[in-house]
C-alpha cells in the first residue's frame, strides 16, 4: 500500500499516524506543586510538550473516559461494520459537544468543584471545557465528518434504521457500483 493511501486510511479511521500526533494528558491532585503557575510539574511538562492537556480531576476523567471507553468497546465488537463507523463517531462527537455546551463534567465532579472558592471553581471548569474543546478538535482533525465521507454515505447499508432511496443512491455512488446495478429495479425493492 502506498504511503499516501496508508496515511489517508489511517486518518479516515481516526487513528494518528505517529506518536507526535497523539495527545498526552497529565493528571494529579490540585496541589500547587502539580498545577501552580510558577515552576509546577505541569508547567515543566508543558514547556517540553506544548500539546499536553491538563486533566487535574479524577472524577472528571472517570466521566469523560467512560464515553471514549464505550466507543472503544463498539470498535472491538466482532460484528461491527464500516457502515456503522460514521454513526459511532458522530455520536461520540455529539456527546462531547453536548456535555461541553451543558458544562456537564459529571455529578461527582460538580460536587467536588462546588467546594472550591468561586474563582478556583471557574478556573477548573474552564480547564474541563478546554479538555472537551481539545478532544473535539482532535476528532475533527483525524475523522472526516463532512458529507463527502464515504462512511456517512454507506451508513444506510447497516440496516439499523429506515433509509431513503436518496441515501441508497449516495451509497451506490460512494461504492462506485452504479454501473453494475439497475437503479430502477433497486428503487422498486
Residues 56 and 95 placed together within one structural domain of the fold: yes
Number of domains making up the chain:
2
Residues 121 and 165 placed together within one structural domain of the fold: no
pLDDT tens-digit series, residues 35-62 = 777 888 888 888 888 777 665 577 788 8
* Strand partners of residue 54: 26
pLDDT tens-digit series, residues 65-87 = 899 999 999 888 767 788 888 98
Q: Which residue has the higher pLDDT, 174 or 10?
A: 174
- What residue numbers bound the domain in which 172 lies? 154-189
Q: Which has the minimum average pLDDT: 2-16, 30-44, 136-150?
A: 2-16
What does the pLDDT average to over 122-139?
A: 93
Q: What letter does residue 1 receive in the DSSP assignment?
A: -
Question: What value does the mean pLDDT of the chain take?
Answer: 78
Identify each DSSP E strand in 100-154 by its residue range.
none
Residues 105 and 168 placed together within one structural domain of the fold: no
Residues 129 and 163 placed together within one structural domain of the fold: no
Nearest to 82 by CA among 177, 174, 176, 180: 174
3-state SS track over 12-66: HCCCCCCHHHCCCEECCCCCHHHHCCCCCHHHHHHHHCCCCEECCCHHHHHHHHH
Residues listed for the chain: 189
On the question of pLDDT at 157 being above 50, the answer is yes
Residues 126 and 146 placed together within one structural domain of the fold: yes
Amino acid at each position: 500500500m502506498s504511503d499516501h493511501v496508508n496515511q489517508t486510511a489511517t486518518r479516515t479511521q481516526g487513528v494518528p499516524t505517529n506518536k507526535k500526533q497523539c495527545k498526552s494528558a497529565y493528571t494529579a491532585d490540585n496541589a500547587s506543586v502539580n498545577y501552580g503557575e510558577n515552576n509546577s510539574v505541569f508547567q515543566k511538562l508543558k514547556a517540553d510538550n506544548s500539546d499536553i492537556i491538563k486533566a487535574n480531576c479524577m472524577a472528571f476523567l472517570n466521566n469523560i473516559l467512560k464515553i471514549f471507553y464505550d466507543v472503544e468497546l463498539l470498535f472491538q465488537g466482532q460484528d461491527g461494520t464500516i457502515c456503522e463507523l460514521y454513526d459511532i463517531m458522530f455520536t461520540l462527537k455529539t456527546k462531547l459537544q453536548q456535555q461541553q455546551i451543558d458544562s456537564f463534567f459529571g455529578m461527582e465532579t460538580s460536587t467536588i468543584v462546588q467546594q472550591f472558592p468561586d474563582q478556583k471553581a471557574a478556573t477548573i471548569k474552564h480547564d474541563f471545557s478546554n479538555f472537551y474543546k481539545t478532544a473535539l478538535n482532535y476528532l475533527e482533525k483525524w475523522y472526516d465528518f463532512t458529507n463527502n465521507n464515504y462512511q456517512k454515505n454507506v451508513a444506510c447499508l447497516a440496516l439499523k434504521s429506515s433509509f431513503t432511496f436518496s441515501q441508497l443512491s449516495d451509497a451506490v455512488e460512494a461504492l462506485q457500483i452504479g454501473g453494475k446495478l439497475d437503479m430502477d429495479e433497486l428503487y422498486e425493492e
